[in-house]
Structure 1
Amino acid sequence: MHEERWPGEWMRGVLSLCVLRVVADGPTHGYAIAGRLAEAGLGAVKGGTLYPILTRLEAEGLATAAWEAGDGGPGRKVFTVTEAGVTALRQRAEQWHVFSERAAGLLSSPAVPA
Protein backbone atom coordinates (compact mmCIF):
# COMPACT_ATOMS: atom_id res chain seq x y z
CA MET A 1 0.00 0.00 0.00
CA HIS A 2 1.30 3.47 -0.91
CA GLU A 3 1.69 5.78 2.07
CA GLU A 4 0.76 9.42 1.57
CA ARG A 5 3.35 12.03 2.42
CA TRP A 6 1.40 15.05 3.57
CA PRO A 7 2.96 18.52 3.43
CA GLY A 8 4.66 19.40 6.70
CA GLU A 9 2.63 22.56 7.21
CA TRP A 10 -0.59 20.54 7.03
CA MET A 11 0.69 18.07 9.61
CA ARG A 12 1.87 20.85 11.92
CA GLY A 13 -1.58 22.41 11.71
CA VAL A 14 -3.55 19.36 12.78
CA LEU A 15 -1.24 16.83 14.42
CA SER A 16 -1.63 18.10 18.01
CA LEU A 17 -5.40 17.87 17.68
CA CYS A 18 -5.16 14.35 16.26
CA VAL A 19 -2.82 13.26 19.07
CA LEU A 20 -5.22 14.68 21.65
CA ARG A 21 -8.05 12.79 19.95
CA VAL A 22 -6.17 9.49 20.21
CA VAL A 23 -5.28 10.10 23.87
CA ALA A 24 -8.97 10.83 24.56
CA ASP A 25 -9.80 7.22 23.66
CA GLY A 26 -8.14 6.05 26.87
CA PRO A 27 -4.76 5.78 28.54
CA THR A 28 -2.12 5.05 25.92
CA HIS A 29 1.59 5.28 25.20
CA GLY A 30 3.58 6.90 22.43
CA TYR A 31 4.10 3.82 20.27
CA ALA A 32 0.36 3.08 20.28
CA ILE A 33 -0.44 6.73 19.48
CA ALA A 34 1.93 6.65 16.49
CA GLY A 35 0.28 3.42 15.36
CA ARG A 36 -3.21 4.93 15.51
CA LEU A 37 -2.08 7.99 13.55
CA ALA A 38 -0.59 5.74 10.88
CA GLU A 39 -3.76 3.59 10.76
CA ALA A 40 -5.79 6.78 10.27
CA GLY A 41 -3.76 7.53 7.15
CA LEU A 42 -1.64 10.34 8.54
CA GLY A 43 1.61 8.50 7.87
CA ALA A 44 4.47 7.57 10.13
CA VAL A 45 4.94 10.08 12.95
CA LYS A 46 8.38 9.82 14.51
CA GLY A 47 9.07 10.12 18.21
CA GLY A 48 10.96 13.36 17.65
CA THR A 49 7.68 14.86 16.45
CA LEU A 50 5.24 13.00 18.70
CA TYR A 51 6.84 13.38 22.13
CA PRO A 52 7.18 17.18 22.01
CA ILE A 53 3.46 17.34 21.17
CA LEU A 54 2.66 15.11 24.15
CA THR A 55 4.87 17.28 26.36
CA ARG A 56 3.00 20.41 25.19
CA LEU A 57 -0.38 18.78 25.81
CA GLU A 58 0.78 17.91 29.30
CA ALA A 59 2.12 21.44 29.92
CA GLU A 60 -1.22 22.90 28.77
CA GLY A 61 -3.06 20.66 31.24
CA LEU A 62 -4.82 18.76 28.46
CA ALA A 63 -3.18 15.41 29.25
CA THR A 64 -1.35 13.78 32.13
CA ALA A 65 1.50 11.31 32.00
CA ALA A 66 2.51 8.54 34.38
CA TRP A 67 5.09 5.78 34.20
CA GLU A 68 3.74 2.27 33.95
CA ALA A 69 5.83 -0.80 34.72
CA GLY A 70 6.63 -2.91 31.69
CA ASP A 71 5.76 -6.60 31.43
CA GLY A 72 9.26 -8.05 31.54
CA GLY A 73 10.69 -4.98 29.82
CA PRO A 74 11.26 -1.33 30.46
CA GLY A 75 8.48 0.88 31.76
CA ARG A 76 6.67 3.28 29.52
CA LYS A 77 4.98 6.63 29.85
CA VAL A 78 1.21 6.42 29.60
CA PHE A 79 -0.83 9.48 28.63
CA THR A 80 -4.40 10.19 29.74
CA VAL A 81 -6.67 13.04 28.68
CA THR A 82 -7.83 15.47 31.37
CA GLU A 83 -11.26 17.06 31.70
CA ALA A 84 -9.75 20.25 30.23
CA GLY A 85 -8.40 18.13 27.39
CA VAL A 86 -11.85 16.76 26.59
CA THR A 87 -13.24 20.29 26.49
CA ALA A 88 -10.36 21.55 24.34
CA LEU A 89 -10.73 18.58 21.99
CA ARG A 90 -14.42 19.31 21.47
CA GLN A 91 -13.84 23.03 20.87
CA ARG A 92 -10.79 22.64 18.65
CA ALA A 93 -12.37 19.86 16.59
CA GLU A 94 -15.41 22.06 15.93
CA GLN A 95 -13.11 24.93 14.92
CA TRP A 96 -11.08 22.61 12.66
CA HIS A 97 -14.23 21.42 10.88
CA VAL A 98 -15.35 24.99 10.19
CA PHE A 99 -11.87 26.01 9.03
CA SER A 100 -11.38 22.97 6.78
CA GLU A 101 -14.85 23.38 5.23
CA ARG A 102 -14.10 27.02 4.43
CA ALA A 103 -10.71 26.14 2.94
CA ALA A 104 -12.29 23.33 0.90
CA GLY A 105 -14.96 25.73 -0.37
CA LEU A 106 -12.32 28.18 -1.51
CA LEU A 107 -10.18 25.50 -3.11
CA SER A 108 -13.12 23.97 -4.97
CA SER A 109 -14.15 27.25 -6.58
CA PRO A 110 -12.95 27.61 -10.16
CA ALA A 111 -9.74 29.50 -10.72
CA VAL A 112 -10.11 32.83 -12.49
CA PRO A 113 -7.97 32.95 -15.63
CA ALA A 114 -5.35 35.71 -15.70
Structure 2
Amino acid sequence: MGKDAPFPGSWQRAILPMLLLAELSSSPAHGYALSKSLQERGFGPIKGATLYPALSKLEAAGYVDTRWEEGQGGPGRKVYGLSAAGRAELGRQRDSFDKLAALVQSTGT
Protein backbone atom coordinates (compact mmCIF):
# COMPACT_ATOMS: atom_id res chain seq x y z
CA MET A 1 0.00 0.00 0.00
CA GLY A 2 1.25 3.45 -0.86
CA LYS A 3 0.95 6.31 1.57
CA ASP A 4 -2.07 7.74 -0.31
CA ALA A 5 -3.73 4.41 -1.12
CA PRO A 6 -6.03 3.02 1.55
CA PHE A 7 -6.00 -0.44 -0.07
CA PRO A 8 -3.35 -2.63 -1.70
CA GLY A 9 -3.01 -2.08 -5.45
CA SER A 10 -4.27 -5.59 -6.21
CA TRP A 11 -7.49 -4.82 -4.30
CA GLN A 12 -7.89 -1.54 -6.17
CA ARG A 13 -7.52 -3.23 -9.54
CA ALA A 14 -9.95 -6.00 -8.57
CA ILE A 15 -12.72 -3.75 -7.24
CA LEU A 16 -12.30 -0.84 -9.66
CA PRO A 17 -14.66 -2.18 -12.38
CA MET A 18 -17.51 -2.57 -9.89
CA LEU A 19 -16.89 0.88 -8.45
CA LEU A 20 -16.85 2.42 -11.93
CA LEU A 21 -20.18 0.76 -12.74
CA ALA A 22 -21.58 2.00 -9.41
CA GLU A 23 -20.39 5.56 -10.12
CA LEU A 24 -21.99 5.46 -13.55
CA SER A 25 -25.29 4.17 -12.13
CA SER A 26 -26.14 7.70 -11.00
CA SER A 27 -25.06 9.62 -14.10
CA PRO A 28 -22.71 9.53 -17.10
CA ALA A 29 -19.20 10.92 -16.56
CA HIS A 30 -15.81 11.25 -18.19
CA GLY A 31 -12.78 9.39 -16.87
CA TYR A 32 -11.25 12.23 -14.88
CA ALA A 33 -14.55 12.91 -13.08
CA LEU A 34 -14.89 9.22 -12.24
CA SER A 35 -11.38 9.12 -10.84
CA LYS A 36 -11.91 12.28 -8.77
CA SER A 37 -15.25 11.09 -7.40
CA LEU A 38 -13.82 7.75 -6.29
CA GLN A 39 -10.82 9.48 -4.74
CA GLU A 40 -13.08 11.90 -2.84
CA ARG A 41 -15.07 8.93 -1.52
CA GLY A 42 -11.88 7.41 -0.07
CA PHE A 43 -10.75 4.97 -2.75
CA GLY A 44 -7.39 6.65 -3.15
CA PRO A 45 -5.72 8.01 -6.27
CA ILE A 46 -6.26 6.11 -9.51
CA LYS A 47 -3.62 6.31 -12.20
CA GLY A 48 -4.75 6.75 -15.78
CA ALA A 49 -2.82 3.59 -16.66
CA THR A 50 -5.25 1.72 -14.37
CA LEU A 51 -8.45 3.70 -14.97
CA TYR A 52 -8.65 3.82 -18.76
CA PRO A 53 -7.91 0.13 -19.42
CA ALA A 54 -10.64 -0.74 -16.88
CA LEU A 55 -13.09 1.56 -18.67
CA SER A 56 -12.08 0.09 -22.05
CA LYS A 57 -12.77 -3.43 -20.78
CA LEU A 58 -16.18 -2.38 -19.46
CA GLU A 59 -16.94 -0.79 -22.83
CA ALA A 60 -15.78 -3.88 -24.75
CA ALA A 61 -18.00 -6.07 -22.54
CA GLY A 62 -21.01 -3.87 -23.35
CA TYR A 63 -21.40 -2.65 -19.76
CA VAL A 64 -20.86 1.00 -20.62
CA ASP A 65 -21.83 3.12 -23.58
CA THR A 66 -19.69 6.03 -24.72
CA ARG A 67 -20.13 9.31 -26.53
CA TRP A 68 -17.83 12.20 -27.34
CA GLU A 69 -18.46 15.56 -25.71
CA GLU A 70 -17.10 18.73 -27.26
CA GLY A 71 -14.46 20.44 -25.18
CA GLN A 72 -14.93 24.03 -24.03
CA GLY A 73 -11.71 25.65 -25.13
CA GLY A 74 -9.90 22.32 -25.11
CA PRO A 75 -10.05 18.86 -26.60
CA GLY A 76 -13.21 16.78 -26.55
CA ARG A 77 -13.58 13.96 -24.08
CA LYS A 78 -15.16 10.56 -23.92
CA VAL A 79 -18.19 10.32 -21.65
CA TYR A 80 -19.15 6.94 -20.21
CA GLY A 81 -22.67 5.87 -19.32
CA LEU A 82 -24.04 2.68 -17.78
CA SER A 83 -25.81 0.37 -20.24
CA ALA A 84 -28.67 -1.97 -19.33
CA ALA A 85 -26.17 -4.86 -19.38
CA GLY A 86 -23.90 -2.84 -17.10
CA ARG A 87 -26.72 -2.26 -14.62
CA ALA A 88 -27.38 -6.01 -14.50
CA GLU A 89 -23.64 -6.74 -14.14
CA LEU A 90 -23.40 -4.22 -11.30
CA GLY A 91 -26.16 -6.10 -9.49
CA ARG A 92 -24.33 -9.40 -9.94
CA GLN A 93 -21.03 -7.93 -8.78
CA ARG A 94 -22.63 -6.34 -5.71
CA ASP A 95 -24.21 -9.68 -4.78
CA SER A 96 -20.83 -11.44 -5.12
CA PHE A 97 -19.09 -8.71 -3.14
CA ASP A 98 -21.69 -8.96 -0.35
CA LYS A 99 -21.06 -12.71 -0.13
CA LEU A 100 -17.30 -12.14 -0.02
CA ALA A 101 -17.63 -9.46 2.67
CA ALA A 102 -19.85 -11.77 4.76
CA LEU A 103 -17.28 -14.56 4.43
CA VAL A 104 -14.45 -12.27 5.53
CA GLN A 105 -16.49 -10.97 8.46
CA SER A 106 -17.42 -14.48 9.62
CA THR A 107 -13.94 -15.95 9.33
CA GLY A 108 -12.16 -16.35 12.64
CA THR A 109 -15.15 -15.45 14.81
TM-score, normalization by structure 1: 0.87
| CA–CA distance in structure 2, aligned partners of residues 28 and 97 of structure 1 | 26
Point out the structure with max Rg over C-alpha: 1
SS in 1 for 2:67: strand
Are 1:93 and 2:94 matched, yes or no?
yes
Structure 1: give runs of 5+ residues left out of the alignment: none
- 2:23 aligned partner: 22
Runs of 4+ in structure 1 off by over 3 angstroms are: 2-5
- 1:9 aligned partner: 10
| CA–CA distance in structure 2, aligned partners of residues 22 and 46 of structure 1 | 17
Equivalent pairs counted in the alignment come to 107
Structure 2: give runs of 5+ residues left out of the alignment: none
SS in 2 for 1:94: helix
2:13–2:50 CA contact under 8 A, matched in 1: no
What does the per-residue CA deviation read over 1:62-104, in whole Å, with 9 as the maximum and x for residues that have no partner? Answer: 0011111011211000001100000110111111011111112
TM-score, normalization by structure 2: 0.90
| CA–CA distance in structure 2, aligned partners of residues 27 and 71 of structure 1 | 18
Residue type of the alignment partner of 1:40: R
Question: C-alpha displacement at 1:3, in angstroms?
Answer: 3.9
- 1:31 aligned partner: 32
Paired-residue identity, %: 36
* Equivalence map 1:75-114=2 (5 Å): 75-106=76-107, 109=108
